Structure 1
């Protein structure tokens, strides 16, 4: 009888464990799809620039502003919204954020002027502001520590796939049914996922999915740091500041190319809007693949050496600048595209190098805040500034002229990386 009871308890425990793991992966799939929807809503408008430029008689500065305002809002609001979500509840916060960015995307579809579109895009950014950090924090609470890298890498990869899908699907649909329908479709997808999420994800179910990790996360969140101590932890040295800044300056180039490539291919290659969107989406996909490969190569070469990570950051940035300089000096054609493809492999290489440098130099207890700070730098100085500044330059010298000057922007992160490497060596000698 005792043996039977023990076996029954063991079998029941095993069943509960399997159910918890299965539920955790269901939540992962929903969170992945929501992040996919997030970036589809964010990037879909970029493929519509040629249409809006003609229909509303917009300047390139205006086009750059309605794209750049989303990452600007994300960068400004990421930290405060993440703090609010941790106190109010992550499950409810995520549902509210997804509903807001979907509603704002529907507002984009209904906009009748530049200013209405700008306001709608601001609210897209407000809705998306803290989703990445809050969503990842929630996933970390229901998966064991041994799967954290897998979960983090898989979850954030949705950004690249969402960018590709958003640009390509939006361009194709816009040419057949009109640009408003393409934006409305992004909104409908978001609303559908919110409904499924609200039925499937609850605080109670999350607590049962992996109670040990959930308890540890809860206890960790109760620890409060003074603003001064938090700032000191986030910026412990000059080299760490250089990692934040260098990453953002390199993302400036990425943000510019992601936004303006469809328009460049349309204007100077003579590609139809749909075809230009698909070609640009292909380059974005290559960039996502490069982000993963650069991370793998950096880990293989660097090991535990932060100095080698600085060396890899410098090498990647140098390759990016050289390949872009050659590509944009060539006339539009297959050879130019053949050089753009390897160039974009290095666009997002800073994620693998700078993130590891920051993680190695900041306390583990505030890594979430450290990566939120990196997101703030990347969004404001990179993703928001890149499209806008390039739009201003394009109004003065033309888009082709602006992109020909873009490789010079690689000099800035390269210089910061060199300074960061020098600071790291000096700090290591003092320490």
Structure 2
């Protein structure tokens, strides 16, 4: 779908149908975005209970988080292509039903293998939701509102993560850890049914070139690779963004268990404190995104150098917090970890903007999809399971002390990207724009 030509009629104010229909679609879509990330993150607060009851290793526990990001990464492009060709509303309703039912099914699993499979289905249901939801929102609203509304939509991911960590601990303390899946799964099923009341835009008839490019995931992948292999900045930013997310995902996944094991905090209280750590990271992503933008005003490469510096700073703070900082006492250590969490999300916003800067205007949405693939597959999926494996061998404190070293990989990649950023950005700006667009539905995982 071409973002600049929204299909269907629009009213006098630029809404696709009416103001009421647009805001109803927005409210339903952000509600499902909240449930998406609540269902993803609820499990991390349940680790202490699951480890005690099922005697799971930390690598197994980490895999229960990583499997969701893995299936999201693998399923995002096919799901988005299907939604763009068939129906956004019915696709979103089906996605929400699948991931909510899968979350609910976790309540009834009685073995690690069954729970891992159910979590994989959660990710498969969530694959492509961000991109398809964004496409639907963009179609309903006039241009002047889209930027702010889409920012609010994606911000719900952070809010949902905080709520997931918080709710998991509170529910488990009252009704048991299995009940947590049931409580958070049911609202998603209700919303999935209600989402069918949202009005959809008409599916656009594709040109022959675009028809061939999107008729299968294989063809789409070839089209993507051909369009995105030129800017070297793209590759280094994808690597750097994914490496920094290894740090973020490891800390967020293991904070409740760390507080429970190292400081004897009850699981429900550990979940509440860990939610504060996640909240610090969510706030930091906004603050440091603005700092990076400011650093790149006079010299574009300054944005990447600032990101590299902030990544190294996050390594220093977190390595100290989980290492020598342990001797300072629980409250002081917690504050240092919170400071590290505030800065470790420094790359979340800027990497997306940089990718859009350096790819051809006709495939910007697809470039963002490739970034999302890297972030999920090599960042969010790797962090929890890697930290869990290190914990099994060296202990959780050591694992969380060493995992932030991935920030060095991120910093190095950003420095390399800085060397080509200005040139790649210039070429992208000068590129002809007659090329057909791939669907926006491929934009984000």
Q: Which residue of 2 aligns with 1:181?
A: 179
Partner of 1:85: 83
- Which residue of structure 2 lines up, in the alignment, with residue 234 of structure 1? 228
1:338 corresponds to: 335
User: How far has the Cα of 1:195 moved from its partner?
Assistant: 2.1
Query: CA offsets per residue over residues 360-388 of structure 1, 9 Å max, x none?
Result: 11123322211111111011111111111
Report if aligned partners of 2:16, 2:141 keep a CA contact under 8 Å in 1. Answer: no
User: Paired residue for 1:126?
Assistant: 124
Structure 1 residues 20 and 407, CA, compared in 2 at 3 Å: closer, same or farther?
same
Q: Does 1:386 align with 2:383?
A: yes
> Counterpart of 1:296?
290
CA distance in 1, matches of 2:69, 2:404: 22
Change beyond 3 A, Cα 1:18–1:398: closer
TM-score scaled to structure 2, two decimals?
A: 0.86
Q: Which runs of 5+ in 2 are unaligned?
A: 1-10, 214-218, 431-445
* Distance in structure 2 (CA, Å) of the matches to 1:364 and 1:348: 27
Residue 95, structure 1, aligned to residue 89, structure 2: no
Q: Closer, same or farther in 2 for the Cα pair 1:143/1:86, shift >3 Å?
A: same
Shift, 1:182, TM fit = 1.2
CA contact (8 A) 1:35 1:162 kept: yes
| Larger CA deviation: 106-115 vs 399-408 | 399-408
What TM-score do the two structures reach when normalised by structure 1? Answer: 0.89
1:390–1:221 CA distance, 2 compared to 1 (3 A): farther
**Pair 1:246 & 2:240 matched:** yes
Out of 412, 420, 425, which is 1:415 matched to? Answer: 412
Say yes or no: does 1:358 pair with 2:352.
no
Deviation at 1:327, TM superposition (A): 1.1
1:270 paired to 2:259: no
**How far does the alpha carbon of each residue in 1:158-215 deviate from its partner, in whole angstroms, 9 at most, with x for none?**
11111111111111110111112111011111111112212x2132xx56xxxxxxxx
Q: Is the 8 A contact 1:160 1:285 kept in 2?
A: yes
Q: Which has the larger radius of gyration?
A: 1
Task: State the secondary structure of the residue aligned to 2:191.
Answer: helix
Query: How big is the shift at 1:121?
Result: 0.4
Task: Give the CA deviation at 1:353.
Answer: 1.7
Instruction: Give the root-mean-square deviation of aligned CA atoms.
Output: 2.3
CA contact (8 A) 1:318 1:410 kept: yes
- Of stretches 289-298 and 170-179 in structure 1, the one that deviates more from structure 2 is 289-298
- TM-fit CA distance, 1:19: 7.5
Question: What is the aligned length?
Answer: 407
Who is 1:214 aligned against? none
Equivalences for residues 208-219 of structure 1 within 5 A: 218=204
User: Where do 5+ consecutive residues of structure 1 fail to align?
Assistant: 1-12, 208-216
Aligned to 2:313, which of 311, 319, 344?
A: 319
